[in-house]
Structure 1
Amino acid sequence: MVSFIRTQYNRSKKIIGMTSTLVGGFRAAQKVGAFGDGASRETLSPYVQQFCRRMAGSFGVKVVQVEPIPQTHGLWVSNHVSWLDIPVVGSVAPVFFLSKAEIGEWPIFGRLAKAGGTLFIKRGSGDAGSVSDQITAFLQGGSSVVFFPEATTTDGKQIKKIYGKLLKSAIDTGLPICPMVLAYVDQDGKLSDEAAYYGDRTMADSLKIVADSKGITAHVLPLAPISPVGKDIRALTDELQKVMEAGLAELHSRVLTA
């Protein structure tokens, strides 16, 4: 009975925290005129980072920069472990996110995503080229963007195959590819399976598991920027694969104790 009460209390506390963060996000967006055309993405960036930091915290996730994250303008990439990656990455890097266009029509999260400067991708028959062109225009406008090149979530133990077609936007703009790797660690110093969203887990399952979890820390390690100059997509993809595999191994060696 006591365990049940504690579980319900922990869930309720996180739900209240998430709700409070959403309300705060709406208030901040109204304050800077983000629901209209009055806020530039440069103005929005610190608000987006603050909102993401609070959202991660509302789920009980502590975000730690293993090394300071450079606030570099470029095409950012990260390994992909969970839906938690969005608030974690957004809390430390000066980036905006990609989203399917239809999500922009959602009543709550859609409005906040629009207010937060999200790049809504209009897909045409799965055409990665058109998506890359949209990212290129976004980057040329002075805003950095992040995407997850594994194209799926993992258990966080390794880097899966990287799909590099969207790296074309770095080639087209000459801007650096800015990789980072992240790892979720539990109180015992092991990779947190609770944070990972993979396999047969549904979104509802994952939310429940995270809500019931305790002491998850998201460690984020920035890696050296990759210049796209003089390289084609295949060369960049191969280089990024090796860099992220080595980076994740280094991160695990630095933050895992069990």
Structure 2
Amino acid sequence: MTSVRLALRLLRLSLVLVLGGLLGGLISLLERLRGAEQPALRQRLTRWFMARLSNALPYRLRITGQLPEQPMLWVANHVSWADIPLLGQLTPLSFLSKAEVRSWPLAGWLAHKAGTLFIRRGAGDSQWLNQQLQRYLKDGRPLLLFPEGTTHDGSTLRTFHGRLLSSAIELQIPLQPVAIRYLHRGQPCSLSPFVGDDDMLSHLLRLLRGEVRDVEIHLLPPLCSRGLNRNQLARQAQQVIGNALYGERDEQAAAAA
């Protein structure tokens, strides 16, 4: 039974990925013909693709809260690569991702075609990235970043780094905090986190072999960035996301690495 389930899920996922490749090629062709990037088109097609990709994964989704009515800088806790399609289906979004993702087979190419901004750890390119983030936000294109900087097992939050929140402060654009939680039979899911030395293919196959898991996405009230510095804003975002995930427990424990 497990092998049949795996085969069917792999077939469905493969068809979705082929569709994603065709969409990426279509975007490239249209931009070549028009002689310019089409960011709004990229975001709309990416959202459509993310919805199909999410449906091909063994997750049952529950969303609480309201989608923002204006472009914002989104911030979320980071548990798995699956965060991206699950969040990306909610609204047209662009993502900030670690540079290693660009080299992933197919997934990296699709992320590039979706308009993802890639960041190199320790490369000292924060100023350039903030300029790019400001450009996106000024153009009315919402962005999502993971201020923890890496994935974790979901049991705690890592420290939120504020260095990439300057764009929201300088443009006086609110922050949209999002809390994402993976559950299995009402308990924290140990299979969903993508951490350590795990590779994406092995992790994906384990997911596809397993039972359907639950995912909760909490769209929390926006945070005003006016009058704050980036570290204050990062701490506020960490606190509200931590409270949504773990309740009013000791903030220091929730923020532990």
Letter of the 1:228 partner, please give it.
Answer: S
Residue 170 (structure 1) shift:
0.7
Q: Say if 1:59 and 1:211, in contact at 8 Å, map to a contact too.
A: yes
Q: Say if 2:159 and 2:238, in contact at 8 Å, map to a contact too.
A: yes
Closer/same/farther in 2, CA of residues 211 and 165 from structure 1, 3 Å limit: same
1:77-106 deviation per Cα after TM superposition (whole angstroms, max 9, x unaligned): 111111110111101133111245676577
TM-score by length of 1: 0.83
3-state DSSP of counterpart to 2:188: coil
Paired residues for 1:1-258 under 5 Å: 6-29=1-24, 33-37=27-31, 38=34, 40-99=38-97, 108-121=106-119, 125-186=123-184, 188-249=185-246
Residue 174 (structure 1) shift:
1.5
Q: Say if 1:181 and 1:222, in contact at 8 Å, map to a contact too.
A: yes
C-alpha RMSD over aligned residues = 2.6
**Counterparts of 1:25 and 1:204, CA distance in 2:** 17
**Counterparts of 1:102 and 1:203, CA distance in 2:** 12
Count of aligned pairs between the two proteins:
244
Q: Could you tell me which residue of structure 2 aligns to residue 253 of structure 1?
A: none
**Counterparts of 2:238 and 2:177, CA distance in 1:** 10
Closer/same/farther in 2, CA of residues 12 and 80 from structure 1, 3 Å limit: same
Residue 70 (structure 1) shift:
2.9
Q: Say if 1:72 and 1:94, in contact at 8 Å, map to a contact too.
A: no
Q: Say if 2:151 and 2:195, in contact at 8 Å, map to a contact too.
A: yes
Closer/same/farther in 2, CA of residues 249 and 172 from structure 1, 3 Å limit: same
Closer/same/farther in 2, CA of residues 120 and 159 from structure 1, 3 Å limit: closer
Q: Which moved more, 1:85-94 or 1:196-205?
A: 196-205
Residue 30 (structure 1) shift:
5.3
**Counterparts of 2:109 and 2:153, CA distance in 1:** 31
Q: Which moved more, 1:220-229 or 1:122-131?
A: 122-131
Closer/same/farther in 2, CA of residues 174 and 34 from structure 1, 3 Å limit: farther
Residue 200 (structure 1) shift:
4.9
TM-score by length of 2: 0.83
Unaligned runs of 5+ in 1: 1-5, 251-258
Unaligned runs of 5+ in 2: 248-257
**Counterparts of 1:198 and 1:105, CA distance in 2:** 18
1:159-188 deviation per Cα after TM superposition (whole angstroms, max 9, x unaligned): 2211111011111221111110011122x2
Q: Say if 1:17 and 1:59, in contact at 8 Å, map to a contact too.
A: no
